[in-house]
Amino acid sequence: MSDPTDHVELRSAYADSVALLQVSRDVQAVPGVATAQVAMATPLNLEVLASMGFDVPSAATPNDMVVAVRTAPDGDLSAALAAVDAALAPRRPAAGGGAVESHRTTASALAEAPGLALVSVPGASAFVEAMDALDAGCDVMVFSDNVPVEQEVTLKRTAAERGRLVMGPDCGTAVVGGLGLGFANATRPGPVGIVAASGTGCQQLLALLDHAGVGVGTALGVGGRDLSAEVGGLSTTEALRRLDEDDAVELVVLVSKPPADEVATRIEEYAAGLGTPVQLALLGPGRPDLTVAAEAVLDRLGTTPPAWPVDGAAAAGRGGRLHGLFAGGTLCEESRLIAAEAGVPSAGSSFTDFGADDYTSGRAHPMIDPTLRLEHLRQVAADPGTGVVLLDVVLGHGADPDPAATLAPAITGLDVPVVVTVVGTGLDPQDRDRQVGALVAAGAEVHLSNATATRRAVELAGGAR
């Protein structure tokens, strides 16, 4: 045999996308394996498998697990499959001998003792698990995306009737009394409370305020659609009420992607009636960006805003299209708005949010799984019409433990200038300084502020002057 060999099988099994990402990586590392992909057979993953050249049986459904392994000419398939089995093997002790099986629903786990529920199952099942939490009288954070908006409304109406809080869906960041949930940066406790209808918007504020020496005790993520007309700010209202009752909170910041006008008006009225001042950071055309909002917060607290750090320097611009490839939805939106106001210098520029539902069905979020974004980076960097690439790297609990390890090699040696926003703090498990150092060494220019990074990218897209 001299050709590589493909092995594709379907298994009736389930594992979450993060676990399968790890399985795929473990198997790829086995000697003799050319490439491997173990994933649930969602349409997106089938596309990925097809692009890798695997031939997946048409009978595959999203409930099937696809094990696809390509062995090198001298590779040993049985060793590769043994590695798949080993990586998939349950870590929990088998039943019997007094071992207690884990609970199978949020309801049964909460029946034993109450707690905060954190739901991250696929979107089609998230509602049911979240409702379990409300039925048990508990607050819930819905990390899942792809949750239908009408289910979100039902969930939040139910929570409002019972005085409970639903965090999320579609905003995977919260800090509750200092505990980071989902994608949250490690911060010091402090006088600021955040209500966020925007996950990475919240993280940008956490990072900027941390850099300025101001701590955040609690940040409640209320879901990217909470201030839409359909949802009507149900969770925002409850989150504001809770922060208002918290004596440790001196100032509340409400951050959101562009809200529905009538909802924004109603929330502004509600906020005005609270005892704690509320600083609005609502993105939108003609509205201040997040960095300006952070500076306003610092002003109100009597702290002078610092100069926002910039490390490294991008290569001189040759002019051309600006391609923004984002893991953070709000950062993507903010860059789009800033670029539009500046008049993006050439047609064909793009702003892509790889955390959007289309890219995460049955796949881990790009803050965990860089595969799709790295593939796009390769494509746009190879295009001579590209003038500049703008990227974000979001650190914190739950995120890729070392994003620079895959991103820096992909940047190294590119002709096109690369500007990166690294959102994070010195306390984050990834260590922001170390990440920045690796990216700068690869030739990138690294900002803490997404707004300054975007303005710099716009400038570079205009070309050398």
Q: Which one, 114 or 385, has the nearer CB to another protein? A: 114
**Residues within window 143-172 making contact with another protein, judged by CB under 8 A:** 143-144, 148, 151, 154, 158
Asked if residues 319 and 462 have their Cβ atoms less than 8 Å apart, the reply is yes
**Residues within window 199-218 making contact with another protein, judged by CB under 8 A:** 217-218
**Residues within window 216-235 making contact with another protein, judged by CB under 8 A:** 217-218, 220
Q: Which one, 76 or 250, has the nearer CB to another protein? A: 250
Asked if residues 244 and 275 have their Cβ atoms less than 8 Å apart, the reply is yes
Q: Which one, 8 or 124, has the nearer CB to another protein? A: 124
Asked if residues 204 and 290 have their Cβ atoms less than 8 Å apart, the reply is yes
Interaction between residue 20 and another protein (CB under 8 A): no
Q: Which one, 169 or 345, has the nearer CB to another protein? A: 169
Q: Which one, 345 or 398, has the nearer CB to another protein? A: 398
Q: Which one, 35 or 158, has the nearer CB to another protein? A: 158
Identify the residue among 72, 107, 315, 381 touching another protein (CB under 8 A): 107
Interaction between residue 176 and another protein (CB under 8 A): yes
Question: Per CB under 8 A, which region of 13-21, 44-52, 194-202, 308-316 contacts another protein?
Answer: 13-21
Identify the residue among 10, 34, 121, 301 touching another protein (CB under 8 A): 121
Contacts of 100 (CB under 8 A, 6+ apart): none
Q: Which one, 216 or 391, has the nearer CB to another protein? A: 216
**Residues within window 30-69 making contact with another protein, judged by CB under 8 A:** 63
Interaction between residue 114 and another protein (CB under 8 A): yes
**Residues within window 83-102 making contact with another protein, judged by CB under 8 A:** 92, 95-98, 100-102
Identify the residue among 24, 37, 120, 349 touching another protein (CB under 8 A): 120
Residue type at position 348: G
CA distance 59 to 70: 21
Contacts of 349 (CB under 8 A, 6+ apart): 321, 322, 323, 324, 339, 461
**Residues within window 267-306 making contact with another protein, judged by CB under 8 A:** none
CA distance 214 to 429: 19
Q: Residue 357 belongs to what H/E stretch?
A: helix 357-360
The number of beta carbons lying within 10 Å of the beta carbon of residue 86 is 12
Cis geometry, peptide bond prior to residue 169 (ω within 30 degrees of 0)? yes
Q: How far is the CB of 179 from another protein (least distance, A)?
A: 5
What are the angstrom distances between the C-alpha of 353 and each of 143, 280, 287? 17, 24, 21
Identify the residue among 6, 9, 26, 246 touching another protein (CB under 8 A): 246
Identify the residue among 135, 250, 268, 311 touching another protein (CB under 8 A): 135
Q: Which one, 351 or 359, has the nearer CB to another protein? A: 359
Question: Per CB under 8 A, which region of 113-121, 263-271, 279-287, 340-348 contacts another protein?
Answer: 113-121
The number of beta carbons lying within 10 Å of the beta carbon of residue 427 is 14
Interaction between residue 115 and another protein (CB under 8 A): yes
The 3 state secondary structure assigned to 267-283 is HHHHHHCCCCCEEEEEC
Identify the residue among 60, 109, 390, 439 touching another protein (CB under 8 A): 109
Say what angle helices 329-342 and 450-461 make with each other, to 10 degrees: 50
What are the angstrom distances between the C-alpha of 364 and each of 15, 37, 289, 381, 423? 12, 13, 28, 24, 19
Q: Which one, 19 or 72, has the nearer CB to another protein? A: 19
Q: Which one, 116 or 310, has the nearer CB to another protein? A: 116
Question: Per CB under 8 A, which region of 27-35, 141-149, 287-295, 376-384 contacts another protein?
Answer: 141-149
**Residues within window 322-351 making contact with another protein, judged by CB under 8 A:** none
Interaction between residue 368 and another protein (CB under 8 A): yes
Asked if residues 292 and 203 have their Cβ atoms less than 8 Å apart, the reply is no
CA distance 169 to 462: 38
The number of beta carbons lying within 10 Å of the beta carbon of residue 75 is 18
**Which structure tokens are listed for 110?**
């909460």
95: Cα separation from own chain's centroid: 36
Q: Residue 375 belongs to what H/E stretch?
A: helix 371-382
Identify the residue among 39, 44, 66, 117 touching another protein (CB under 8 A): 117
The 3 state secondary structure assigned to 132-146 is HHHHCCCCEEECCCC
Identify the residue among 429, 437, 443, 463 touching another protein (CB under 8 A): 429
Q: How far is the CB of 146 from another protein (least distance, A)?
A: 11
